[in-house]
């Protein structure tokens, strides 16, 4: 090996060259700024076959500009969702404080496995999850948690604790042929099916309970299913409740579920199932839990104060759950990945623990602080803690209250506007959140009457299919006629969560994630709805 070539290679890619790095970062930032000034456009064409056939690994060492050039076309071809006209799904722009946190983390590249590999970054994780847990669970005594690669993995942690509760030693011995089940609502995220399959209890042993029209799980039906399971000798491991469903922002009655689980487990002398809440979307409502409605220092309108009061009542339910999933990259407007799994009581982590002897090259690990002894992953990025603490402290509680309340305010404005149009029907009118689901039927239709017939079971199947087709057709019409300079990009779902008689209901959808979205854009949505009907 030529030592000069080797030294040049090391100097180029491992020696600190601040000027070269900053120059390339400035180029990328300039490209991002250019994109930020543009109106949102349709996704660029993609050619997976070309990508597969031409991996383009260079033969000879190059330089940092070669690294930039290798990724830039894909960087430019990926939407950053910075436009305030992006309202189609639970995806918004990442805040600048999060960017600072992410940069800081990437420069040090810590591994959140043990103190040895992460040093003070592990301390930052403890600080971050404690801050989040105190926000979610409301100043809990002994919380804990870890950051994960996404909400699915956070839900998996909650379900796994539940399995260990009802089948002690399942981590080592499996479930031994026993029937073990979990519960969720029909409006819950599909990741719960993924979790049931991957944990080995089987997708068919995840029991989905219908919701009411407000997308809240039917506690009476949950009770019936619990009785049936316990009477048949089935192990009930967990219930995944929802605090903000993905499409309609449905919130379950957490306090009622807690009371039911405690009562039924006592009645049948069985371990209490894990009550895990998937708050990946809705967790940020907790920023408003302490807002003083009387003083109203931020000057919220009376209608907004009414919504915040309902938010505060809903947030009380979070105090009684065992664990929670949050996605900071949603309403926290952070970078990926910044999901976290939180436990209300640190003692519950014993269900996930392994011995130091199981991690021989982490012989120095201590159960009191080293995540490698409880986490699914070994190597784990520290982006989450850096993003969260930079964002929480950069923006501050008052800032987060303003951001959260503004999203609620705009969602309410759209709901109110749609209610004035007889051929439209807001499907999630009573939910409190940043999402709006609705129908747009042709002018002349009585959307309220049609919906009522659907819910009552008196709407003929043929008419139902016709109306559903019209909802999809008006949405496609708007897509074709929209002006990308002024018209918001809206979403569409084939099943917004409420399923009367098992019928999946389609809907238009808008999610107010972008802080720059304003009333004029909402009013333009209403105008485009009238043009599409």
Cα–Cα separations (whole angstroms), residue 65 to 18, 24, 34: 14, 7, 20
Interhelix angle 96-108/383-419, rounded to 10 degrees, is 160
The answer to whether 248 touches 437, Cβ cutoff 8 Å, is yes
- Asked if the peptide bond before residue 302 counts as cis, ω within 30 degrees of 0, the response is no
The answer to whether 235 touches 205, Cβ cutoff 8 Å, is no
Q: Taking the CA of residue 186 as centre, how many other CA atoms within 13 Å lie in the half-sphere pointing to its CB?
A: 22
The answer to whether 249 touches 287, Cβ cutoff 8 Å, is no
pLDDT one digit per residue (tens) for the chain, 533 residues:
888 988 998 999 899 999 999 998 999 889 888 877 776 666 566 777 776 777 778 878 888 888 888 888 888 888 878 888 989 888 888 999 999 999 999 999 998 887 788 788 889 999 999 999 999 998 777 888 999 999 999 999 999 999 999 999 999 999 988 999 999 999 999 999 999 999 999 999 999 999 999 999 999 999 999 999 999 999 999 999 999 999 999 999 999 999 999 999 999 999 999 999 999 999 999 999 999 999 999 999 999 999 999 999 999 999 999 999 999 999 999 999 999 999 999 889 889 887 777 777 776 777 667 787 788 888 899 999 999 999 999 999 999 999 999 999 999 999 999 999 999 999 999 999 999 999 999 999 999 999 999 999 999 999 999 999 999 999 999 999 999 899 999 999 999 999 999 999 999 999 999 999 999 999 999 999 999 99
Cβ atoms < 10 Å from Cβ of 135: 23
Pairing of strands 424-426, 144-148: unpaired
Q: What does 106-157 look like in DSSP terms, one character per residue?
A: HHH--BBTBHHHHTHHHHHHHHHHHHHHHHHTTS-SB-EEEEESSHHHHHHH
The answer to whether 142 touches 342, Cβ cutoff 8 Å, is no
Share in percent of the chain as helix, strand, coil (round to 5): 50, 15, 35
Q: Give the integer Cα–Cα distance in Å for 21 and 116.
A: 28
Give the H or E element holding residue 184.
strand 180-185
| Angle (nearest 5°) at CA 466 between 462 and 468 | 115
Q: Give the integer Cα–Cα distance in Å for 184 and 208.
A: 5
Handedness of CA 24, 29, 35, 38 (dihedral sign): negative
Secondary structure, 3-state, 401-450: HHHHHHHHHHHHHHHHHHHCCCCEEECCCCCCCCEEEEEECCCCCCHHHH
């Amino acid at each position: 090996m030529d030592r000069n070539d080797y030294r040049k290679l090391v100097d180029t890619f491992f020696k600190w060259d601040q000027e070269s790095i900053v120059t390339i970062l400035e180029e990328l930032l300039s490209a991002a700024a250019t994109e930020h000034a543009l109106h949102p456009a349709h996704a660029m064409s993609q050619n997976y076959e070309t990508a597969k056939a031409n991996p383009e690994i260079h033969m000879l060492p190059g330089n940092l500009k070669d690294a930039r050039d290798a990724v830039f076309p894909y960087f430019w071809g990926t939407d950053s969702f910075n436009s305030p006209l992006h309202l189609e799904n639970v995806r918004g722009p990442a805040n600048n404080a999060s960017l600072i946190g992410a940069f800081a983390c990437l420069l040090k590249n810590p591994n959140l496995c043990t103190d040895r590999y992460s040093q003070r970054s592990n301390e930052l994780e403890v600080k971050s999850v404690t801050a989040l847990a105190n926000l979610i669970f409301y100043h809990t005594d002994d919380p804990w948690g870890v950051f994960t690669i996404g909400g699915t993995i956070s839900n998996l942690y909650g379900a796994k604790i539940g399995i260990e509760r009802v089948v002690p030693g399942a981590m080592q011995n499996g479930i031994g042929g026993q029937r073990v089940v979990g519960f969720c609502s029909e409006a819950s995220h599909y990741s719960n099916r993924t979790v049931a399959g991957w944990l080995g209890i089987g997708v068919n042993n995840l029991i989905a309970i219908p919701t009411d029209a407000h997308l809240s799980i039917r506690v009476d039906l949950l009770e019936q299913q619990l009785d049936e399971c316990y009477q048949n000798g089935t192990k009930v491991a967990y219930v995944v409740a929802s605090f903000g469903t993905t499409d309609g922002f449905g919130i379950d009655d957490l306090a009622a579920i807690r009371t039911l689980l405690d009562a039924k487990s006592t009645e049948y002398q069985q371990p209490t199932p894990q009550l895990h809440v998937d708050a990946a979307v809705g967790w940020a409502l907790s920023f408003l839990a302490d807002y003083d409605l009387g003083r109203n220092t931020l000057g919220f309108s009376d209608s907004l104060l009414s919504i915040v009061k309902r938010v505060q009542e809903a947030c009380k339910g979070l105090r009684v759950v065992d664990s929670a999933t949050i996605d900071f990259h949603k309403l926290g407007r952070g970078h990926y990945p910044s999901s976290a799994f939180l436990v209300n009581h640190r003692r519950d982590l014993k269900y996930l623990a392994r011995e130091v002897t199981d991690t021989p090259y982490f012989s120095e690990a201590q159960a009191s602080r080293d995540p490698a002894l409880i986490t699914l992953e070994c190597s784990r990025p520290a982006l989450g803690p850096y993003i969260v603490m930079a964002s929480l402290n950069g923006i501050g509680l008052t800032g987060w209250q303003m951001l959260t309340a503004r999203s609620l305010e705009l969602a309410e404005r759209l709901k109110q506007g749609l209610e004035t149009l007889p051929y439209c029907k807001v499907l999630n009118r009573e939910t409190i959140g940043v999402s709006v689901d609705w129908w747009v039927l042709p002018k002349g239709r009585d959307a309220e009457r049609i919906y009522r017939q659907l819910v009552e079971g008196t709407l003929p199947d043929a008419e139902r299919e016709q109306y559903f087709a019209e909802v999809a057709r008006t949405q496609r019409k708007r897509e074709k006629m929209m002006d990308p300079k002024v018209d918001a990009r809206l979403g569409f779902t084939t099943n917004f969560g409420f399923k009367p008689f098992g019928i999946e209901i389609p809907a238009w959808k808008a999610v107010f994630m972008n802080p720059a979205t304003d009333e004029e854009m909402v009013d333009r949505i209403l105008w485009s709805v009238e043009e599409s009907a």
